[in-house]
C-alpha cells in the first residue's frame, strides 16, 4: 500500500461525558485523489449493512436492518432525529455525514462466514461501501472483520458475543459495541450464587463455533470460581433444530443445572426440548433443577414463550431501561415499526451513529482517521448509559444487564425482567487477559486501503 500524505489539525472529542478526561485526536485530511478505499467523491456516501436475513439468526438480522434503516433516516434529517437528540456528542447535525447524503446497500450473511465475506466483499468492491455494519454471529463477525481489515474499510460489528472478536482476532479496522462472553460470566456469577447457591452441578450444551466455545469457557470459569462443578460440556451443531438427543443424557448425568450456550433459534429449540423433557419439574441432589441461558435477546424470549419463566441470563441492552437515550430510541423505533427494539437493533443503530459521529469529528471518511476518533471515545445518550470504546482492543465497556424470564408477562414484549444492572467496572478486564489472546493479541495497524 502506498503511503498517503495528510494535513493534520486538532479538535476536541466533543462526546466525552461529564467528568471524563478530554482527548485530542488527530484529524486526517486526504491530499490525494484516491487516499483510501472507496473515498466518496459525489454528493452521497454508501454504507453496507450485512445481516442474517435467512438462517437460524434471521429474526435478529431483520431487526438489525430495521434499526440500520432508522439510523440512516435520522442521519439524513428525516423522522424525529432519534438519538441525535440525546447523544452527548453534538457533531451530527442531521445533514448526512460530512454533508453527504447517506445511502445504503444490504447483504445476507445467512449466518455463514463464507456467505458473509462474499456479501461484504461485493458491497465494498461493487457498491463502494466505506463501512460494513451488522451480523448476528461471532463466526461471521471475525470473518468479515478480517475482510474489512484487508480491504481498508471500517467494520462496526453487530451482534457478536465471542471473546475472540476483540480478543485474539481483534483488528485495527474493527470495533465492537456489543458486550462479550467474559462480561456475561462476570455479571451472572454473583446473581447465580445469590439465587442458586455455590454448590451446583452444571451440564453445558454449547453451539459448536467460536461464540459457543468462548461462552462456555467464560461461564465454566465464573461458575467454578463460585464452587460449582462442571459435569459435562457437549458441543451441538449450529444447524441443529431438534436437541432431544442432547437433552436426554442430562437426565442421568447427576447435573442439577443445564447451561444452554445457544442463541437465536437454537436456544428456542433447545430450551423447548429441555422443558418438554420435564427438567424444570425435577429435583436433583436435593435441589430444584435450573436452566441458565447466558446470552438472551427479546426475540429469543418471545420465541420461547412460557418456557423462559424464571430462567436467568444476560443482555447488552433492554428496551425497558429508563435512561434518556434508551427512552428516545424506544420512542423512535416504536413509532416507526409498532414494537420495541431488540438489543441487536439497538447495537446496530448505535454503531451506525457512532461511525457517522467519528467521521464528523475526524473530518474525513478515511478509516484511520475514523478509527482514531473512536479510540478511547467516551459517550452517553445512545441507550446503554455511559460507554467507552477502549483503544487497546476496540471493545466497548458499559453496564451489563442480568435478566430473568418474567413470571407474568402482560404482552409479547415484556417477557424479560431486569434483575440487576451490573456496573462496567465489574465486567472490565485487562486487554491481555488470557481469554482474549494474552500478550500475543494485537490490533495491528490500521489499513486505509487504496
**Domain parsing of the chain, residue ranges:** 9-179+321-393, 182-315+401-427
CATH number corresponding to 182-315+401-427: 3.40.50.2300
Model confidence band, residue 34 (pLDDT cutoffs 50, 70, 90):
low
| pLDDT tens profile 408-438 | 998 888 899 999 999 999 999 999 999 999 9
Instruction: Kindly provide the residue ranges of all beta strands, DSSP E only, lying in 86-194, ordered along the sequence.
Output: 101-108, 131-134, 154-157, 174-176
- For residue 8, pLDDT beyond 50: no
| pLDDT tens profile 120-132 | 999 999 999 999 9
Question: Can you read off the three cell numbers belonging to residue 282?
Answer: 425435577
Report CA torsion sign: 212, 214, 217, 219. negative
The confidence score (pLDDT) of residue 137 equals 87
pTM: 0.91
Question: From CA 182, how far away is CA 305, in angstroms rounded?
Answer: 27
Question: From CA 86, how far away is CA 248, in angstroms rounded?
Answer: 50
The confidence score (pLDDT) of residue 27 equals 44
Do the domains 182-315+401-427 and 9-179+321-393 match in fold? yes
Q: Considering the chain, what is the average pLDDT of its residues?
A: 91
Q: Which residue has the higher pLDDT, 240 or 89?
A: 89
Cell 479510540 identifies what position? 375
Question: From CA 377, how far away is CA 386, in angstroms rounded?
Answer: 11
Q: Are 383 and 329 in contact (CB under 8 A)?
A: yes
- For residue 70, pLDDT beyond 50: yes
Task: Give the fold, CATH level 3, of 9-179+321-393.
Answer: Rossmann fold (3.40.50)
Residue 154: name the closest of 361, 370, 347 by CA: 370
DSSP 351-380: HHHHHHHHHHHHTS--HHHHHHHHTTEEE-
Amino acid at each position: 500500500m502506498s503511503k498517503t500524505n495528510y494535513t493534520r489539525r486538532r479538535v476536541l472529542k466533543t462526546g466525552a461525558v461529564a467528568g471524563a478526561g478530554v482527548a485530542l485526536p488527530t484529524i486526517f485530511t486526504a491530499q490525494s485523489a484516491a487516499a483510501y478505499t472507496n473515498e466518496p467523491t459525489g454528493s452521497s456516501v454508501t454504507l453496507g449493512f450485512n445481516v442474517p436475513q435467512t438462517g437460524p439468526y434471521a429474526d435478529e438480522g431483520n431487526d438489525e436492518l430495521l434499526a440500520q434503516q432508522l439510523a440512516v433516516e435520522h442521519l439524513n434529517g428525516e423522522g424525529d432525529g432519534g438519538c441525535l437528540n440525546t447523544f452527548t456528542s453534538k457533531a451530527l447535525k442531521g445533514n448526512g455525514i460530512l454533508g453527504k447524503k447517506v445511502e445504503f446497500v444490504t447483504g445476507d450473511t445467512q449466518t455463514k462466514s463464507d456467505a458473509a465475506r462474499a456479501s461484504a466483499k461485493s458491497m465494498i468492491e461493487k457498491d463502494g461501501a466505506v463501512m460494513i455494519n451488522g451480523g448476528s454471529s461471532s463466526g461471521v463477525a471475525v470473518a468479515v472483520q478480517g475482510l474489512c481489515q484487508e480491504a481498508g474499510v471500517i467494520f462496526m460489528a453487530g451482534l457478536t458475543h465471542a471473546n475472540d472478536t476483540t480478543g485474539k482476532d481483534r483488528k485495527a479496522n474493527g470495533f465492537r459495541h456489543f458486550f462479550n462472553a467474559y462480561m456475561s460470566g462476570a455479571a451472572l456469577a454473583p446473581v447465580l450464587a445469590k439465587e442458586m447457591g455455590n454448590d451446583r452441578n452444571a451440564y453445558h450444551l454449547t453451539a459448536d463455533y467460536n461464540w459457543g466455545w468462548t461462552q462456555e469457557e467464560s461461564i465454566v470459569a465464573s461458575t467454578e470460581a463460585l464452587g460449582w462443578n462442571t459435569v459435562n460440556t457437549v458441543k451441538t451443531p449450529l444447524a441443529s433444530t431438534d436437541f432431544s438427543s442432547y437433552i436426554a443424557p442430562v437426565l442421568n448425568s447427576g447435573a442439577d443445572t443445564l447451561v444452554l450456550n445457544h442463541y437465536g433459534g437454537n436456544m428456542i429449540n433447545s430450551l423447548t426440548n429441555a422443558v418438554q423433557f420435564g427438567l424444570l419439574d425435577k429435583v436433583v441432589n436435593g435441589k430444584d433443577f435450573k436452566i441458565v441461558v447466558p446470552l438472551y435477546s427479546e426475540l429469543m424470549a418471545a420465541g420461547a414463550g412460557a418456557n423462559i419463566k424464571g430462567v436467568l441470563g444476560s443482555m447488552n441492552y433492554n428496551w425497558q431501561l429508563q435512561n434518556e437515550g434508551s427512552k428516545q430510541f424506544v420512542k423512535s423505533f416504536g413509532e416507526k415499526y409498532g414494537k420495541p427494539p431488540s438489543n441487536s437493533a439497538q447495537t446496530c443503530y448505535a454503531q451506525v451513529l457512532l461511525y457517522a459521529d467519528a467521521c464528523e469529528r475526524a473530518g474525513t471518511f478515511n478509516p484511520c482517521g475514523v478509527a482514531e476518533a473512536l479510540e478511547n471515545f467516551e459517550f452517553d445518550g445512545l441507550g446503554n448509559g455511559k460507554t467507552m470504546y477502549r483503544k487497546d482492543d476496540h471493545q466497548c465497556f458499559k453496564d451489563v444487564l442480568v435478566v430473568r424470564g418474567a413470571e407474568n408477562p402482560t404482552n409479547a414484549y415484556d417477557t424479560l425482567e431486569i434483575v440487576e444492572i451490573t456496573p462496567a467496572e465489574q465486567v472490565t478486564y485487562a486487554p491481555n487477559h488470557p481469554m482474549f489472546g494474552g500478550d500475543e493479541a494485537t490490533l495491528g495497524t490500521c489499513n486505509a486501503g487504496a
